[in-house]
Chain A
Amino acid sequence: MERLLQIVNTILENRGKNIVDDINPDTNLRNDLGFDSLDLAELTVRIEAEYDVDIFEDGVVMTIGDITKKIM
Chain B
Amino acid sequence: MRNILITGVSRGLGLEIVKSILEEEDTVVYGISRSKSQGLVNLMDQYPFRLKWMSYDLNDVDHVRARIFKDFIGIQTPIHGFVNNAAVAYDDIVTNLNYEPLLDMYKVNVFTPMFVTKYVIRHFLLHQVKGSIVHVSSISVHTGYKGLAMYASSKGALEAFSKNTAREWGEKGIRSNILVAGFMETDMSATLTEDQKNRIYKRTSMKTPTTTKSVAATIRFLLSDLSRSITGQNVYVDSGTI
Return the chain A residue nearest B122 by Cβ: A45
Q: How far is the CA of A41 from the CA of B119 in the complex (A)?
A: 11
User: A48 and B172: CB pair below 8 A?
Assistant: no
In this complex, how many residues of chain A approach chain B with their Cβ under 8 Å: the count is 9
For A49, give its contact among B75, B121, B128 (CB under 8 Å): B75
Chain A residues with Cβ below 8 Å from B126 are: 45-46, 49
**Interface residues in A15-47 (C-beta closer than 8 Å to B):** 38, 41-42, 44-46
CA distance A45 to B65 in the complex (A): 12
Main DSSP-derived SS at the B contact region = helix
A38 near B75: Cβ-Cβ < 8 Å:
no
B residues in contact with A41, CB < 8 Å: 121-122, 125
Q: What 1/0 mask marks residues of chain B from 169 to 202 whose CB sits below 8 Å from any chain A CB?
A: 1011000000000000000000000000000000
Q: Which residue from chain A places its CB closest to the CB of B121 in the assembled complex?
A: A41
A55 to chain B, nearest CB (A): 12
Q: B62-79: which have CB < 8 Å to A?
A: 75
Chain A nearest Cβ from B66, distance in angstroms: 10
Q: State in angstroms the CA–CA spacing of A45 and B124 once bound together.
A: 10
Query: A45 CA to B79 CA in the complex, in Å?
Result: 14
Residue of B whose beta carbon sits closest to that of A41: B125
Residues of chain B within 8 A of A44, CB atoms compared:
122
Name the CB-closest residue of B to A11: B125
In the bound assembly, the distance between CA atoms of A14 and B121 in angstroms comes to 16
- Give me 13 other A-B pairs in contact (C-beta within 8 A), A42-B125, A46-B126, A49-B75 excluded: A14-B128, A38-B169, A38-B171, A38-B172, A41-B121, A41-B122, A41-B125, A44-B122, A45-B122, A45-B123, A45-B126, A48-B122, A49-B126
